[in-house]
């Protein structure tokens, strides 16, 4: 365990939470419906089936109101049609462009009557390196921040100069957006384990080459933008095709939590550059030095709620309350992943306390 902690501590890096750049817009306040049944008809799909009538009489319900310039930044989270969004969405946009709410009520509901919204564009993550006040930064900085909190540039010009107003807040590592867990191996909640990943690959033949049998196998945890920590035994008989990050339910896309009105962005599938297995791992001894690092071909894109690296102790005894080298007997723990339910791999992410 001591070697394991040293390995993961060495790779632990800063989490960069996302934000957004947007093109401003507003749905006209004078735009409305001429029939009280418009919203019901729109919900049944009449905007598409009967556009000539609906466009003339139900413009508001069919999202056909004229757009005009306005000011204001994206407001997160916001609730639109009973779904809670923590990032921009393309919901109901005729061209499927991303947009966000710029004004919400005290319960986070998008104020549809005035139609405050704006299109989103550009990067949703930090840009490194960036130049601010003639100084080049390769990590987050507190320079110029009135609150003293670390930040980074989300948009730069072709010379890496930070473009004013396009900054991003920085965080050290992942946090759960839902503190309450479901016990007994039941379904985990959306956003509760943002560092978990799952591997997709092919079984190896006796000679070591990949077969055509494609499957999901093993889980891991994101510890940095380009590194995943997992078990060495996962890769003795499997060859990775890609690593899936930001997933909850393998059977749905995008993942949603209707009760809490949340919708996650699509998961990220990233190829593996290489697998680094502990040099003292021997496959017959499945419990000996059973640890591996997977380097991704490209960095994962962090999301404030759904993709974050796991927190690792820089000084374990002080920061996390346990020894770096051992875990004490009779202490409770937890297991997470898409484990077997019967003979098949579960589609839905599970949490189990032991």
pLDDT tens-digit map of 177-236: 443 333 345 566 677 788 889 998 888 766 656 566 778 888 899 988 889 999 998 888
Q: What is the pLDDT of residues 132-147, one digit of tens each?
A: 999 988 777 888 887 7
Q: What's the order of all strands across the beta sheet hosting 99-101?
A: 67-68, 21-27, 116-121, 99-101
**CA–CA separation, 187 and 40 (whole Å):** 33
Class of domain 2-15+179-353: mainly beta
Domain coordinates of the chain in residue numbers? 2-15+179-353, 21-35+44-121
Q: Report the C-alpha gap between 158 and 138 in whole angstroms.
A: 16
Mean pLDDT of 165-181: 57
Q: 3-class SS at 104?
A: strand
Whether residue 256 is predicted with pLDDT greater than 90 in this model: the reply is: no
CATH tag for 21-35+44-121 (out of 2.10.10.10, 3.20.20.70, 2.60.40.10, 1.10.10.10): 2.10.10.10
Whole-model pTM: value is: 0.47
The per-residue pLDDT of the chain, averaged, comes to 70
Residue ranges of the alpha helices (H) in 26-98? 38-43, 46-49, 51-57
What is the structure's pLDDT at 30? 45
277-324 pLDDT, tens per residue? 998 887 667 678 889 999 999 988 887 677 888 876 544 333 333 344
């Amino acid at each position: 365990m001591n070697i394991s902690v040293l390995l993961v501590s060495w790779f632990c890096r800063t989490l960069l939470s996302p934000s957004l750049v947007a093109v401003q817009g507003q749905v006209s306040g004078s735009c409305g419906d001429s029939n009280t049944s418009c919203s019901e008809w729109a919900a049944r799909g009449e905007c598409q089936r009967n556009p000539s009538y609906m466009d003339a009489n139900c413009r508001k319900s069919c999202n056909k109101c004229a757009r005009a310039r306005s000011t204001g930044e994206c407001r997160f989270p916001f609730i639109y049609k009973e779904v809670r969004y923590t990032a921009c969405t393309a919901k109901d946009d005729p061209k499927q462009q991303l947009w966000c709410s710029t004004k919400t009520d005290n319960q986070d509901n998008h104020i549809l009557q005035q139609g405050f919204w704006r299109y989103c564009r550009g990067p949703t993550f930090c840009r490194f390196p960036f130049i601010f006040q003639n100084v080049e930064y390769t990590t987050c900085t507190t320079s110029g921040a009135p609150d003293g909190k670390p930040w980074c540039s989300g948009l730069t010009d072709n010379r890496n100069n930070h473009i004013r107003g396009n900054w991003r807040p920085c965080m050290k590592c992942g946090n759960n957006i839902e503190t309450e867990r479901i016990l007994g191996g039941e379904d985990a909640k959306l956003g509760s384990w943002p560092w978990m990943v799952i591997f997709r690959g092919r079984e190896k033949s006796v000679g070591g080459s990949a077969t055509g049998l494609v499957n999901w196998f093993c889980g891991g945890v994101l510890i940095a933008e380009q590194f995943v920590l997992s078990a060495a035994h996962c890769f003795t008989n499997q060859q990775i095709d890609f690593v899936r990050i930001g997933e909850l339910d393998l059977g749905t896309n995008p993942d949603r939590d209707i009760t809490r009105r949340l919708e996650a962005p699509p998961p990220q599938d990233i190829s593996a550059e290489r697998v680094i297995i502990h040099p003292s791992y021997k496959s017959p001894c499945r419990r000996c030095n059973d640890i591996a690092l997977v380097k991704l071909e490209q960095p994962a894109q962090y999301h404030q709620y759904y993709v974050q690296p796991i927190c690792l102790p820089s000084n374990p005894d002080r920061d996390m309350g346990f020894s770096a080298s051992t875990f004490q007997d009779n202490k409770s723990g937890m297991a997470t992943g898409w484990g077997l339910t019967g003979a098949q791999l579960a589609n839905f992410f599970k949490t189990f306390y032991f």
